Chain A
């Protein structure tokens, strides 16, 4: 029989009161702990609702006049260096770079600028070169060759026989009867590929933004050195190469920036330079006789019927796809100029790629009749995009002047397929300016999907990595970040937005402080009452311990017996205390219908087990020390 147990049973009131005392302190501590975890969860939840971003400010002056000068090079280099320094900032939480892909959305219609009221923005570049791809059957009425410096080009007047493929965005236009063609694309031998009086199929990019409809010959080109290129009628447009990536010196790369001065295949005729396309490319022009249908059924027309026309349709049903890990890191969404109109943003599970979901703009939803909950199929392509830094000049009734950088949609091409075609559920519809300019523009033809929806999405980052990157900072660290950048020698290079976190910060700090106080209070009371519990117990047990030791019971056995009784009382206290804390806390919080402050029973049990462990260890240690009483030195 454990004599200490007998002692406890002989003074039941004392024992019960001791258990109650410990139990109450445990209740207080566990409620404090539950409140602490709830407040922490609330803090994290609220904190997580705010995204603080730093975005590189445009420092290159607008206007093509400055675009390629020395000042431009210096500023671009400085931007690049500031970007690199920011990547190493200690308060940087995440570097979020939007990835752009292109998608064929079968059965949809694209949000072409031509589809929208042209008085708002009839900006031809928004349609080029994706939504405006077309195939016309024409008869050439006249051809005129022009010499400019040492280069030759030609203009042709064409009568439209049949519009074979053109986006429905142009349906409301007056009937197209005549188009003009301006091109520098010659045959390899230097002859003009079109002559008056003949009939042709022409594959190109259509625009009605000048007084005369114009068709720019389009050819899908792959350069010999592997760089991405495509023909633009007036010459070859080269993507900006490596500029903006971090692998080379920007100054060296800048020499390669010319948008219209990239790789050309040139020939010479009578001392004049002409350009021609590489072989094995899709043809952009084909002469035919008879009817269009007969030509399309012929061997020569096969490529038009099976490749070019379906490719045009794909582009007319195209959309840009923006991949992100954090919608709020996109500047317009951060500052509120773009916002969710219906539905919701992505949740964490969706960001992790568990579900295929997307956000579409209200304009895109309207023209396609899409609603939240609908599913759309996205066949994804890594076509790339083209970013023009400046020089955009629209001809709408409202806007004029140079507006800043803007994005050109590069056409979908079969070879750029990333072999990923799946259904995405529309979970939200956002509102954004339909067409916008500037480095942070975000147009309404963008379908937004979580980055994780596409395996290894980062590989498609492209050359405009810097333009589409937001630095996500720890909330409340804007000043620290700016100071860090100043110390690195790059002050005032970034623009910040914290979505109103600074106004909410005081409340959050109070919440955090309260959570800590609750926890500290609970733990302090627990520590004090544990001391009291052990003090009172040992004060009562000490004479008995001494007695049994004098009677010859060894210290180890005495320790075990004392510990057994104490641990039993502690276990009972912890069980009752935990139940009491759970019942009290739950009854208080369950009425509030808030998930974040609801009782987390698992956490509570873990805390209770930890407290029991602490109590057990302390009791065991003290039992050992006090059982080892020096019998000869103590009365």
Chain B
């Protein structure tokens, strides 16, 4: 198994890192309404997993989903425009942070409902494979999702029907504020193993390690057809949601946060490149995001008269609220 391109990995974690930092600035300035769930600290997982995917593979993300969408290849400018609710956004301003999707890039959508993506991506992969395509899928999920019955049902279907979906659990230690130890009886990996799904564990802070483990799993899946499970241990550097910036919630000690932040996927990936190369990538990422923010803020908001557009794919027109 050849290793992932360290330049691509570093560029991707750096892009996600700076995208999230710029997005947080836009939350503070009021240009992004409703806030975001920052992916800061977890960038190595999206980058490492997506580095092992092909363009025709599909992924389903989570409420903390910006990293998955960007790493799978969505345009940062359209993504930022989506967060700002602009008509040029990926979803034409209809989805926002928690529903960003890019079907052309194989992103079936971030998803605001915990544990919901697993069955959806399983169905999508199954339907396309029935047509003879040999793609695989990835369902990203958090540690909170492993207690959702719907996800456990999806494990069962994927295993029974031999659908090649990699379930990637980003275990950042907390479901919002609920520690894993207080929420998970048994273990996370054992849930998958109970369905006969092979489970691996990896250091989610090391993008190259995530890539290597993912690539090995995908090779088995492409040959064999069945699902696998990957638990990536990680740490969320920032808030569960940006509302925490205003309302301090007391669930992680400063020491724990400092310890968690000491293993930074951006620094780990960056340390594998010469300084000059790193600086060039940094400069390029800054330019990309500068343009992304500028274009997003310059773009038009959707026309209120189009608020119900896309509600029905059949062309059905809904009655308005009247008056």
Are A and B interaction partners? no
B residues in contact (CB < 8 Å) with A: none
A residues in contact (CB < 8 Å) with B: none
